[in-house]
Every structure is written in structure tokens, then in C-alpha cells.
Structure 1
Amino acid sequence: MQVILGRRLYYNIITGVILYDTGERMGENIVDSTIEDDFKYSLELRNQNRDIVDYLQLEPGQYNEEFSEAVTYRVNPETKELEFGYEINNDYTGFQSPYKKQIDELKKENEEYKNRIADLEIILSETLLNN
């Protein structure tokens, strides 16, 4: 049976820097490692102060598009959310929220604008009818 395991990203809680990325794993006999295993066997984690290391567990396929296009990524220390940095026309964009989150925010903003326009149309229509 094919097993797919999502990435586990270990990061410094103060800086948000990714210390270790397990990568997405798939195969017939894949067994998920424990947090203890990762600290024991990963050279990147072995000597880290565990008090300032946390992790994000991602679902299989989660943020695949972002990982394939980003030049860097980190965890925002304030929000504890993953952010991606892109390079567009040789210019670095800085860290941004994942695409889905940006799209959801833009959809919400668009709905708010539509509602405001509808309200203004009603006010304008009533104003013109009363004159």
C-alpha cells in the first residue's frame, strides 16, 4: 500500500528560520518518524536548543505550488504561519503568505467592495429619485 507523508518543518521560534525539512515522503513501507527520532538522527537538529525549536506538520501536497516556485521559506515568528519568498524578474519579493491564503483574502476584499458599490448604487438611485 502506497503511503504518503507530509513535510515536517522544524524552525527557530525566535527567527522563523527553517532548521530542518523532512520533505514529503512516499512509498510502500514508509514509516513516519517521531519528533524524538528527528532530533536524534538529524544533524541539523541534534545540537539545537529544543526550547527554541518548534515544528509545523504539513499535509501531503500542502503548498506544493509554493514550494516549487519559492526561492526561500520561513515560519513567521509572530503568526506561526509559513511564508514564502519568490524571485520575479530577478527581484526578490520578500516573504508572503501562501497563495491560497492570499486568494482567500482577495476574494473577501472583493466581496466587501461589491457590497459597498451596491450600497452606493442604492443611495445614488434614491437621491436621484427624490430630486
Structure 2
Amino acid sequence: MNNRIGRKIYYDKSTGNVILDTGEKMGAVIETTIDQDFETYQALKQRVRDTVGVIQLEFGQYAEDFAQCNGFRVNPQTLELEFSYPDPNATEPQEPVYQKPLTEQLKETQQAVAELTLLLAPMNGGM
């Protein structure tokens, strides 16, 4: 049995701060339930269950973002995962700036370019 299980990210519902990232699992592993996680992980045992949210990701989802980021959280208003990335030009430590995953921003930009290309094609004689 060679399973691939995506990470679960448990977070504080009021702040969006990450309490626990289970990480991805591969091989002879079985997926755990949220109840099992609350029994297993010390960080969750210490929490009131109603104050904790969870996001289940697919295996490999946002892999590049996790590899490049220097922090992540859940936006408490949108319940979307947000990442902060290091500034390669910074000479001093910076406060994290959380934003949509760069992989999603790239897809949106590519889509916008494709739409603009289609709109501009008739103006350029179809070229």
C-alpha cells in the first residue's frame, strides 16, 4: 500500500495563526480523522475544539509555495491560505506580508494575459 496524503493545517479561527501543520505523508500510511488528530497532537489537545479550524490540502498542493515561503496563515475573513515570502533585497528582517499563494497569482496573471491577447488580436489584424 503506497498512499499519498496531503497536509492538514489546523489554525486559530479568530487570528488565522497556524497551530499545527501535519505535513504530507507518503507510503504505508493511513489518513487520520480530525478526532484522531485532536487525540494525538499535543498542540491540539491543549485547545478548545470550537476555536480551531482545519484546511485539508491535496498531496503536493502549494508545494512550491511551501518550499519558498517564510511563513503562512489562514485569513480569518476568507478562510484562504496565505503565504509570506522573503524579500531577496531585504538587508534586515522584515515583518511578514501575507498574500495569496504565488502559484495562484501566476495562474491569474497568465489567464489575464491570455484574455488580453484575445481582445487585442482583432486590433492587430488577427496576428
Q: Which of the five TM-score ranges fits, normalised by the shorter chain? A: 0.7 to 0.9
Residue of 89, 98, 117 corresponding to 2:101: 98
What is the aligned residue count? 121
* Shift in CA distance, 14/90, structure 1 to aligned 2, threshold 3 Å: farther
Alpha-carbon distance, 1:4 to partner: 1.0
Query: What is aligned with 1:80?
Result: 79
Supply the distance in 1 between the matched residues of 2:40 and 2:120 (Cα, whole angstroms).
58
Report the aligned-residue RMSD: 2.1
Give the unaligned 5+ runs of structure 2: none
Q: Secondary structure at the match of 1:15?
A: coil
Q: Normalized against structure 1, the TM-score is what?
A: 0.80
- Pairs within 5 Å for 1:31-50: 31-50=30-49
Supply the distance in 2 between the matched residues of 1:87 and 1:41 (Cα, whole angstroms).
33
Q: Normalized against structure 2, the TM-score is what?
A: 0.82
Are the counterparts in 1 of residues 4 and 26 from structure 2 also a CA contact under 8 Å?
Answer: yes
Alpha-carbon distance, 1:5 to partner: 0.6
Q: Which has the higher helix share?
A: 1
Query: What is aligned with 2:13?
Result: 13
**Could you list the per-position Cα deviations for residues 13-64 of structure 1 after superposition, in whole angstroms to 9, with x for gaps in the alignment?**
1111110111101112x11111011111111110212112110000011111
* Shift in CA distance, 89/99, structure 1 to aligned 2, threshold 3 Å: closer
Alpha-carbon distance, 1:113 to partner: 4.2
Q: Which has the higher strand share?
A: 1
Query: What is aligned with 1:61?
Result: 60
Give the unaligned 5+ runs of structure 1: 123-131
Residue of 97, 108, 112 corresponding to 1:109: 112
